[in-house]
């Protein structure tokens, strides 16, 4: 763990602008965010070791809090991503590398996030893990429930998913080690 603490003293607006020039937002597309599909916490720790302030915006946490009033209709998914992008933009503007881990199933939603955050700060990471592997790793049983019709509007099963055309990074976690995944994400952020 590391302490970001309060910084007093000689940090100027020019310093902030220089730091912001180095910062990026990463917007990850997940068929389903399972703990092992990509370990954003491992990327966060590696960036911290290098002295880079990084935070994760996690879909489950955001939906349990600020977006707890949203469901999974098209309108609610759009609003979910809009709010996340606005929060991510605030983080990036203060110099925090932000890894956003959310289901963003359409190119339209990803483009909206890119426009909100700003193209120079937005990096799209596509978790290109095959659906079968996502189902195999599903410890919550959500895919099985969706296949039985018990979960409505489940991305990849009963709701569409559009693979991004030109992501900045594509990771197939069924073929990569955790170390390889982290190295690729860190390289993208540097």
Active site residues: 104
Structure-token pair, residue 159? 């709701």
Closest residue by Cα to residue 161 from 35, 30, 26, 27: 30
Closest residue by Cα to residue 127 from 88, 86, 184, 78: 184
CA–CA gap between residue 144 and residue 153 (Å, rounded):
13
> Residue 21, Cβ neighbours under 10 Å: how many?
10
CB 41 within 8 Å of CB 56: yes
Angle between helices 178-189 and 40-49 (to 10 degrees): 60
CA–CA gap between residue 135 and residue 185 (Å, rounded):
24
β-strands 25-29, 122-127: how paired? Answer: parallel
CA–CA gap between residue 139 and residue 66 (Å, rounded):
25
């Amino acid at each position: 763990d590391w302490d970001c603490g309060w910084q007093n003293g000689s940090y100027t607006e020019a310093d902030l602008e220089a730091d912001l020039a180095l910062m990026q937002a990463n917007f990850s597309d997940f068929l389903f965010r399972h703990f092992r599909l990509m370990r954003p916490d491992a990327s966060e720790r590696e960036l911290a070791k290098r002295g880079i302030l990084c935070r994760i915006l996690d879909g489950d946490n955001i939906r349990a809090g600020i977006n707890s009033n949203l469901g999974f209709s098209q309108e609610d998914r759009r609003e979910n991503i809009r709010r996340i992008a606005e929060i991510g933009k605030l983080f990036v503007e203060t110099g925090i590398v932000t890894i956003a881990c959310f289901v963003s199933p359409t190119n339209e939603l990803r483009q909206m996030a890119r426009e909100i955050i700003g193209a120079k700060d937005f990096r799209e990471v596509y978790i290109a893990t095959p659906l079968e592997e996502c189902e195999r790793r599903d410890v919550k049983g959500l895919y099985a429930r969706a296949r039985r019709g018990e979960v409505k509007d489940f991305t990849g099963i009963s709701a569409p998913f559009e693979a991004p055309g030109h992501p900045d990074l594509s990771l197939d976690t069924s073929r990569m080690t955790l170390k390889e995944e982290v190295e690729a994400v860190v390289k993208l952020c540097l």
